[in-house]
Structure 1
């Protein structure tokens, strides 16, 4: 094989359709644009979704639902996860949870939920907790800071 032998693959290249080149081409006169109207004119077109002044579909349909942009950066921590953590000298914060692999590295905020049981004393710093989880932590002798 030589550089001067290289050719495009079979069917890769084809001639562009030439419109407006006479009656015999099949695309003469109006060049496939039909007669008159906005779509037949040069430069005459409208924005996406425009329906000629009729109320557009995206405005006829009701608004529905909500998708939080911060959902992927918030994490839930179960009481059983706190129980499974090894020896915790001092307070448990977001960094220690990330280091232990309890929450993902991209997490910005974490909240403890009442799931599982907690027997050892834990001190949480900068981490939220639901009402039930807070009661369970305080019942085990722990606290939230």
Structure 2
């Protein structure tokens, strides 16, 4: 084997016409990049939402409604759910800390109690909000309610 015998592996190389090397090459002039415009120039980068002059989708679609930045989102528990949770976890009191410790809510969640279902257990509640019906049912069983801000 000698240096003049060496050849690249079959299929590993292919000849491309050199672009922009004169009209005689057949790929001169615009070097296959078309006429004028940013895509012909070096350093072209497409903008993310650019649709080639067509009206972009975010401007074509109608806008509806709004997002109220003052809205307070609550994680809701019904009295029937609380009864089942009490059987499963045996809470000393139904508080945000106990719910978080058992992985039922996240750290920043606010908790609201609603009056759907039946509660048979006397419990102390420390929550962010509750309905009038829930408060009435809890206090009729002898439980206490504390609103936490």
Common fold by TM > 0.5? yes
TM-score of the two chains, using structure 1 as the length reference = 0.57
Separation of aligned partners in 1, 2:15 and 2:129: 66
Choose 1 or 2 for highest CA Rg: 2
Gaps of 5+ in 2: 1-10
Separation of aligned partners in 1, 2:33 and 2:134: 69
Q: What secondary structure does 1:133 align onto?
A: helix
Separation of aligned partners in 2, 1:60 and 1:119: 56
TM-score of the two chains, using structure 2 as the length reference = 0.56
Separation of aligned partners in 2, 1:64 and 1:144: 40
In 2, are the aligned partners of 1:93 and 1:127 still within 8 Å (CA)?
no
The residue aligned with 2:42 is 42
Number of aligned residue pairs = 130
Give RMSD over aligned pairs. 4.3
Deviations 1:40-77 (A, max 9, x none): 23346663334577653312312246789xxxx95332
The question of 1:79 aligning with 2:79 is answered yes
Separation of aligned partners in 2, 1:117 and 1:51: 58
The residue aligned with 2:97 is 95
Q: What secondary structure does 1:77 align onto?
A: strand
Separation of aligned partners in 1, 2:18 and 2:139: 80
Gaps of 5+ in 1: 1-10
Matches within 5 A, 1:101-112: 101=103, 103-106=104-107, 108-112=109-113
The residue aligned with 1:113 is 114
The question of 1:32 aligning with 2:32 is answered yes
